[in-house]
Amino acid sequence: MMMTEDNKLDRLINILRESKPLLDNPEDIEEKVIERILQTDKKEEKSSDIFDYLFSWVYVSWVRKSLIAASVLIVIIFGYQQSMILKRMNDLAARTIFKESLMTTGIMGNIDDKLLLYKLTDRKPDDKQVTISERQMKRLINSINELQLKYNELIKLIEENPDLKKFVDEKMTKNNMKKLKL
Amino acid sequence: MFDQKLIEECRKGNLQNFRKLVGIASQYAFSVAFRMLGDEDLTKDIVQESMVTVWQKLENIGSSESFKSWLYKIVINKCYDHLRKRKRRHEFRADEQTWAIISNHTSSDQFSELELKETAQIISFLTRNLSPKQKAVFVLGDLEEMTAEEISSITGMSTGNIKANLHYARKKMNKMMGKYI
C-alpha cells in the first residue's frame, strides 16, 4: 500500500524522535567547560580583587554591587572635575602671560588690564606712562568721592558712640603695637 | 531529571558539583542544538558556550525547578544567533544518499535508529525552508515532545503563535516531501 506524504512525514518524524542525538564523550565537554570557566574567572579576579578588598564588609550582594557602581561613578566625577579645574587654571595662566607680554611690549596700556595683572601677580607695572580714558577717570573720581563720604559717615558714627570709640581706639593701639614689633 | 540539591549547590559556586551538572545537562543541550544545527562539532561548541553561560548566570535563575526550560532557552538563543549568521541559502538538491536513507527508513515497518549523520541529513532536508522560529518550534514540539506551554517559556512566543508556526512548519515539510521524494 502506498503511503501518503502525511504518513511518510509522520513516520519520519517518529524515527527522528526515537533517534535521540547523544553526546559520545560528555567527559570531554565537562573538561573543556571547567577549563573555560577557570580561565574567565582568572581574568575577572584581577579587577574584582580591589573591590573585594574595599567592600568585603558588605555581605548583601546587591548592596555590594551598588556600592561598587557608586564608587566608580564618584571616581569618574572626581576625575572630570579635576580635569576641568586644571583646564581653567591653565587658561587663566595663559591669559596672564599673554597680558603681561602685551604690557612689556608696550601694546597694552589699559589701566583695567594693568590692575588685573597687579591683582593676579602682585607685581606693579614697570612703565611710568598709564593711558586712561575720560570715562575711566570719571569712574575713579566718583569712587574716591563715595569712599570719602562713607569714611566721613563712619567717623561720625564712631564719635557719637563712646563705647565704640573706646573699642576702636584700643584696636588701633593694638595694631600699631604689632606693627612696631615687626 | 535535574537534582534540585545539585543545582542549589552549583548556585553557591561549587564547581565540582557544576561538573556533575554539566555531565547531565550537556546531553539535553546537545540533543536540541544538534537537531537545530545538524553539525556535530558546531553543536559541541554551542553546548560548551551554553554551559559557561549557565555557570555565569546561575545565580540569576528564579528557581531551580525552572532550570530545564532556562537551559533550553540559553541553547535555543545561541542556535538562533548562529542560524542568523549562517543566512546563506542554497537551493536544496536531495542527493541520492539522503533519498536512500529516507526511503529506506520510511518503507520498512521495523524501526531502526538513525546515526548522527543520517539525522543531520534528514533534518537539514526537511527544515531547509523553515525560518529559525519554525525550526525551533518543530524541534522542541515534535522531536523533543514538549508542550506548547513549555515551548512558550523557552522561546517567549505565545501558545497560539507556537501552534501556528508548527502548522506552517509541517505544511512546508510535507511540501518538501512531495517535491523531492
- Copy the grid coordinates of residue A48: 574584582
Contact A29 B178 (CB under 8 A): no
For an interface test with B, give the residue of A7, A12, A17, A37 to mutate (most B CBs within 10 A): A12
Q: Report the pLDDT averaged over residues B139-148.
A: 91
* Residue B34 near residue B120, CB atoms below 8 Å: yes
Q: What is the pLDDT of residue B118?
A: 83
Answer with the residue of higher pLDDT: A56 or B153. Answer: B153
CA distance B103 to B177: 11
Tell me the one-letter amino acid at B148: A
Closest residue in B to A31 (Cα) is B19
Q: Taking CB atoms and an 8 Å cutoff, what residues of chain A touch B170?
A: 9
| Residue found by looking up cell 591683582 in the block | A119
Q: What is the pLDDT of residue A10?
A: 84
Contact B113 A23 (CB under 8 A): no
Reading chain A (182 residues) residue by residue, the pLDDT tens digits are: 445 666 778 888 888 888 888 888 889 999 999 988 888 776 666 666 677 777 777 777 778 788 888 989 999 999 999 999 999 998 888 877 776 666 666 555 566 777 777 776 666 666 666 677 888 889 889 999 999 999 999 999 999 999 999 999 899 888 888 766 65
Chain B residues contacting A via beta carbons under 8 Å: 15, 18-19, 22-23, 26-27, 30-31, 34-35, 43-44, 47-48, 51-52, 55-56, 102, 105-106, 111, 113-114, 116, 118-119, 122-123, 126, 142-143, 145, 170, 173-174, 177-178, 181
Contact B52 A3 (CB under 8 A): no
Q: Report the pLDDT averaged over residues B8-36.
A: 89
Distances (CA, A) of B142 to A18, B45, B119, B146, B171: 11, 24, 14, 7, 13
Q: B125: pLDDT confidence band, cut at 50, 70 and 90?
A: confident
- Would you call A169 exposed, middle or buried from its count of C-beta atoms within 10 A (0-12, 13-18, 19+)? exposed
Q: Does A39 touch chain B (CB under 8 A)?
A: no
Q: What is the reported pTM?
A: 0.59
Q: What angle do CA A96, A98, A100 make, to 5 degrees?
A: 65
Q: What is the pLDDT of residue A46?
A: 62
Answer with the residue of higher pLDDT: B120 or A3. Answer: B120
* Residue B3 near residue B11, CB atoms below 8 Å: no
What phi, psi does B156 have (nearest 5°)?
Answer: 80, 5
How many CB atoms are located within 10 Å of the residue A159 CB? Answer: 10
CA distance B144 to B68: 12
Using left for φ > 0, alpha for ψ between -120 and 50, and beta otherwise, residue A106 falls in: left
Q: What angle do CA B34, B40, B42 make, to 5 degrees?
A: 90
Q: Taking CB atoms and an 8 Å cutoff, what residues of chain B touch A33?
A: 19, 22, 26, 48, 51-52, 55
Closest residue in A to B48 (Cα) is A33
DSSP bridge partners of A131:
A110
User: Terminal CA-to-CA distance of chain B, rounded, Å?
Assistant: 39
Using left for φ > 0, alpha for ψ between -120 and 50, and beta otherwise, residue B156 falls in: left
Q: Taking CB atoms and an 8 Å cutoff, what residues of chain B touch A26?
A: 22-23, 26-27
Q: Does A18 touch chain B (CB under 8 A)?
A: yes
- Copy the grid coordinates of residue A63: 548592596
Q: What is the pLDDT of residue A1?
A: 42
pLDDT in tens, B25-59: 999 999 999 999 988 899 999 999 999 999 988 88
Q: Taking CB atoms and an 8 Å cutoff, what residues of chain A touch B23?
A: 26-27, 30
pLDDT in tens, B45-100: 999 999 999 998 888 776 767 888 889 999 999 998 888 877 655 445 556 677 77
Q: Report the pLDDT averaged over residues B92-120.
A: 72
ipTM score of the complex?
0.81
Contact B23 A26 (CB under 8 A): yes
* Residue B97 near residue B121, CB atoms below 8 Å: yes
